[in-house]
């Protein structure tokens, strides 16, 4: 349930901005990006992302690159 999720996320790593706690430091680092906005803009269309990996995945739409090929269409 939603209430259990609150307790599941309690942990020793606390966000200095909002006070939310996390059990893993990497989850806190990812969370902190929400307070920074979206610092990774696409140079082609201007859409912004919170993670560089999301920007790189998005950029494939501009290059028509298809990272996954259908076995039937090859």
Q: Across residues 45-62, what is the average pLDDT?
A: 90
Domains of the chain, earliest start first: 2-63 (3.30.160.60)
Cβ-Cβ contacts under 8 Å for 33 (sequence gap 6 or more): 39, 50, 51
pLDDT of residue 8: 57
Q: What is the pLDDT of residue 47?
A: 93
The pTM assigned to this predicted structure is: 0.50
Per-residue pLDDT tens over the stretch 5-49: 555 557 899 999 899 999 999 999 888 888 888 888 999 999 998
pLDDT at position 4 is 59
Contact 17, 32 (CB under 8 A): yes
The residue-averaged pLDDT of 64-74 equals: 72
């Amino acid at each position: 349930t939603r209430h259990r999720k609150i307790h599941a996320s309690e942990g020793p790593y606390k966000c200095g901005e909002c006070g939310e706690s996390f059990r893993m430091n990497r989850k806190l680092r990812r969370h902190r990006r929400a307070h920074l906005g979206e610092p990774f803009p696409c140079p082609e269309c201007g859409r912004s992302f919170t993670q560089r990996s999301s920007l790189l995945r998005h950029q494939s739409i501009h290059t028509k690159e298809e990272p996954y090929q259908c076995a039937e269409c090859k």
